[in-house]
Amino acid sequence: MKSLRMAGLGIEAFKNNFTMLDRPYKLTFSMTYWCQSRCLTCNIWEIKPKGELTLDEIRQFAAKNRYFRWIELTGGEPFLRNDIVEIAKAFVENSPGLYIMTMPTNSLCNQDMVVSKIEQMLDLGIPKLSITLSLDGYRELHDKIRGVPGNFDRVMSMARRLQEFQKRHPNLFFVFGYTMSKFNQNEFAKTYEAVSKEIPGITYNNFHLNLAQLSDIYYENTNLQIKSDRQIAAEEIESVIRNRHFEVGAIPAIENVFLKKLVQYAKSGEVPIKSKSLDASLFMDSYGNVYPSIMWGHKIGNIRESGYDLMPLWHNQEAEFVRTAIKEGKEPVAWTACEAYQSIVGNMGSILGLQ
């Protein structure tokens, strides 16, 4: 089953090199905007959300849109939703081709609860469950950026527990998600050294890098000055690339392309590859609003207004406006992992010089 689902995802990505898909294979879904962090780079924690999608509504959405192969459940802090397992179950039961489910965590929730929820999700039969542990610096720096004393130590504790958990669950993966901003520029090497002292066997491959971004619909941080110096960021990413070791597999290969394009984006400030937004993927917020991506605030509709069926929105006038803008090179300037991976595999022909 695992190999068939992986093949199905690969086929969709391959097709996307030659044609626009009739439906997306990746969903990025912010389940909640509640968050206990107090990040210097993000204002999500200031949102006091009301009217978020209920479990019953999410079940209806999952039942009417049964084609997802990759689902990212994000937040806020995803584990603040007590029904996170039920939400995952709704998608697993309704999308038979689902291969991978990913989610971040700030490691601030009760860790016994989080580990229990992860185990329950693994028992659903997801071929690959990937957890990203948010980590933006060594002990003092991470706690400062995140605004929560002791957060670094909680991340290390969660990493140790997941590392042990992997011995019994080979379909579980985890990485450290490091967001580069003006607050931690030139500090990755020191952060890696701090983590390697805490977690045996950690390598540069266990870190996923992103550049801090501004978004009015997701981070709600357009009033902040957070971006790092472009040249410093590029040099730091290049240093990480040099220290990564070779790994066999599609995902490591895509990650290598992502990092190289991240260097290009940092240096130029331009989109390195045209996105596959509203083609291979979409972003849905916790109220059911549908957008091209977490960075692009052009709303195409709300699933509550379409009977929880995505297709009427997928083919509406607003969606076509976005697709035309992408073709004309008018998409917002951004390069984030939520959208970059499907853009990479959907443009692999041109990246390899085959088109």
pLDDT tens digits for the chain (355 residues)? Answer: 677 787 888 788 788 988 889 999 999 999 999 999 999 999 999 999 999 999 999 999 999 999 999 999 999 999 999 999 999 999 999 999 999 999 999 999 999 999 999 999 999 999 999 999 999 999 999 999 999 999 999 999 999 999 999 999 999 999 999 999 999 999 999 999 999 999 989 999 999 999 999 888 899 889 999 998 999 999 999 999 999 998 887 788 889 999 999 999 999 988 888 889 999 999 999 999 999 999 999 999 999 999 999 999 999 999 999 999 999 988 888 888 888 899 998 887 666 654 4
Query: Residue 287's pLDDT is what?
Result: 98
Q: Is 93 helix (H, G, I), strand (E, B) or coil?
A: helix
Query: Which tokens hold the place of 171?
Result: 């379909």
Tokens 């240093």 found at: 239
Query: Which tokens hold the place of 136?
Result: 């933006």
Q: For residue 76, is the peptide bond before it cis, meaning its omega torsion is within 30 degrees of 0? A: yes
Distances (CA, A) of 79 to 20, 51, 98: 34, 18, 21
Query: Residue 263's pLDDT is what?
Result: 95
Domain limits at 253? 2-351
CA distance 77 to 134: 11
CA distance 143 to 184: 12
Closest CA to 98 of 172, 166, 2: 2
User: Which residues, at least 6 apart from 12, have a Cβ–Cβ distance to it below 8 Å?
Assistant: 21, 25, 69, 280
User: Which residues, at least 6 apart from 283, have a Cβ–Cβ distance to it below 8 Å?
Assistant: 28, 29, 30, 218, 290, 291, 292, 293, 294, 296, 338
Query: Residue 349's pLDDT is what?
Result: 66
Query: Residue 10's pLDDT is what?
Result: 78
CA distance 144 to 138: 10
Query: Residue 334's pLDDT is what?
Result: 83
The total number of structural domains in the chain stands at 1
CATH number at residue 136: 3.20.20.70
What is the CA angle 341-344-350, rounded to 5?
A: 175
Q: Is 132 helix (H, G, I), strand (E, B) or coil?
A: strand
CA distance 332 to 150: 36
Closest CA to 60 of 94, 23, 11: 94
Query: Residue 35's pLDDT is what?
Result: 97
Please answer whether residues 250 and 258 qualify as being in contact, where contact means their C-beta atoms are separated by less than 8 angstroms: no
Please answer whether residues 294 and 230 qualify as being in contact, where contact means their C-beta atoms are separated by less than 8 angstroms: no
User: Which residues, at least 6 apart from 131, have a Cβ–Cβ distance to it below 8 Å?
Assistant: 102, 103, 104, 105, 118, 162, 172, 173, 174, 175
Query: Residue 352's pLDDT is what?
Result: 61
User: Which residues, at least 6 apart from 274, have a Cβ–Cβ distance to it below 8 Å?
Assistant: 326, 327, 329, 331, 343, 347
Beta pairing partners, 290: 284, 301
Query: Residue 249's pLDDT is what?
Result: 79
